[in-house]
């Protein structure tokens, strides 16, 4: 009789141990799945931030290209680069006043350009959430009014996952080094 009682008790114990083991395994698998999901989302955020950083750096490079072009054309070093907030896209020869337009991505060339009001309508174009502003300020190195230094800040803003507004900014200074 004692033997039957212990066998019945043992059967219930095995059932409880099995349920506990399955629960622990399920929690482990769900935790791993959650980790994979979150790491994929973080990867997208990092990619968006890297793209924004490259777009901000490109804004500085476009201003540098105009300064260099002014030197080669024997113009004033800061010709066409008065103080203000501007937009520029790759290949533009002069900045235009900022209007908060979004950048379009051209998949066939890998370049960004501005949405001109009608949306990005090409087959290989996509409207992004990126907006770039280039702020130019004339400074004087000696503290007296003059145009011997120019501060350029390129800011890229975008809407991240979950609606959070993010931004990246790059700053550079250009000088009238030509005698």
Residue 29 CA: distances (Å) to CA of 34, 110, 162: 9, 39, 26
Asked whether 88 and 134 are in contact (CB, 8 A), the reply is: yes
pLDDT tens per residue, range 16-49: 888 888 888 888 888 888 887 777 666 677 888 8
> What is the domain partition of the chain in residue ranges?
2-175
Cα–Cα distance measured from residue 103 to residue 147, given in angstroms and rounded to the nearest whole number: 31
pTM above 0.85, yes or no: no
Tell whether the torsion through CA atoms of 105, 109, 113 and 119 is positive or negative: negative
Q: Which residue has the higher pLDDT, 149 or 44?
A: 149
Residue whose pair of structure tokens reads 């490079």 in the numeric block: 61
Asked whether 86 and 133 are in contact (CB, 8 A), the reply is: yes
DSSP the chain: -HHHHHHHHHHHHHHHHHHHHHHHHHHHHHHHHHHHHHHHHHHHHHHHHHHHHHHHHHHHHHHHHHHHHHHHTT--TTTT--SEEEE--TT-SS-EE---PPEEEETTTTEEEE--SS---STTEEE-S-EEEEEEEEE-TTSSS-SSEEEEEEEEEEE-GGG-EEEEEEEEEEE----
Q: What percent of the chain has pLDDT over 90?
A: 32
Pairing of strands 149-159, 165-175: antiparallel
Q: Which two tokens stand for residue 172?
A: 């550079």
Q: What is the mean pLDDT of the chain?
A: 84
Q: How high is the pLDDT of residue 6?
A: 54
Residue 46 CA: distances (Å) to CA of 16, 51, 106, 126, 166: 45, 9, 21, 20, 12
């Amino acid at each position: 009789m004692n033997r039957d009682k212990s066998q019945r008790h043992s059967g219930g114990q095995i059932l409880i141990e099995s349920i506990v083991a399955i629960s622990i395994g399920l929690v482990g698998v769900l935790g791993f799945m959650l980790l994979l999901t979150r790491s994929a989302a973080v990867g997208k955020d990092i990619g968006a931030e890297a793209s924004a950083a490259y777009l901000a750096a490109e804004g500085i490079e476009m201003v540098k290209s105009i300064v260099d072009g002014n030197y080669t054309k024997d113009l004033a070093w800061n010709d066409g680069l008065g103080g203000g907030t501007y937009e520029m896209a790759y290949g533009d020869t002069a900045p235009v006043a900022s209007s908060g337009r979004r950048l379009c991505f051209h998949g066939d060339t890998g370049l960004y350009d501005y949405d001109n009001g009608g949306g990005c309508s090409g087959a290989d174009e996509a409207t992004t959430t990126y907006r770039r502003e280039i702020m130019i300020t004339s400074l004087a190195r000696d503290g007296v009014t003059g145009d011997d230094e120019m501060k350029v800040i390129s800011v890229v803003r975008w809407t991240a996952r979950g609606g959070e507004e993010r931004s990246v900014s790059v700053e550079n200074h250009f000088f009238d080094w030509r005698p």
